Amino acid sequence: MLTKNDLSQIKTVVQKAILPEIKALKQSTKKDIKTLETGLEAKFETGLKGLETRVNNRIENFKTEIIEGIEESEMEIIATVDKHKADKEIVGVLEKRVVRLEDNAGLSPLPTQ
């Protein structure tokens, strides 16, 4: 039967035998963790840059759409104003014709509004 001293000696021998392997395993694990960490950081940075690029592109597209919408609205406003001016000129010409016709016909002028 083994004594406490025998067990202690066996424990010491086993610890000394596996200690280099444990140290090597710790170092390997630290390196693996560092490699994984570096890889994840790189993937995160790449993903973050890609996301930033997509967001910036989307913002530029929105800016372009807004500017195009504003320009289109400005053109519609200008066209409406031009049409209003043309309509106003036509009304002026027609009013003058009515006055001339009334003068030629000897009728009293239309009441003005």
Burial class of 32 by CB neighbour count within 10 A (0 to 12, 13 to 18, 19+): exposed
Instruction: Supply the mean pLDDT for the chain.
Output: 87
The predicted structure's pLDDT at residue 80: 94
> Which pTM does this prediction carry?
0.48
Q: What's the pLDDT band for 91 if we cut at 50, 70, 90?
A: very high
* Model confidence band, residue 83 (pLDDT cutoffs 50, 70, 90): very high
* Residue 7, phi-psi category: left (phi > 0), alpha (psi -120 to 50), beta (remainder): alpha
Q: Report the distance separating Cα 42 and Cα 36, nearest Å.
A: 10
Characterise 111 by phi-psi region: left (phi > 0), alpha (psi -120 to 50), beta (else). Answer: beta
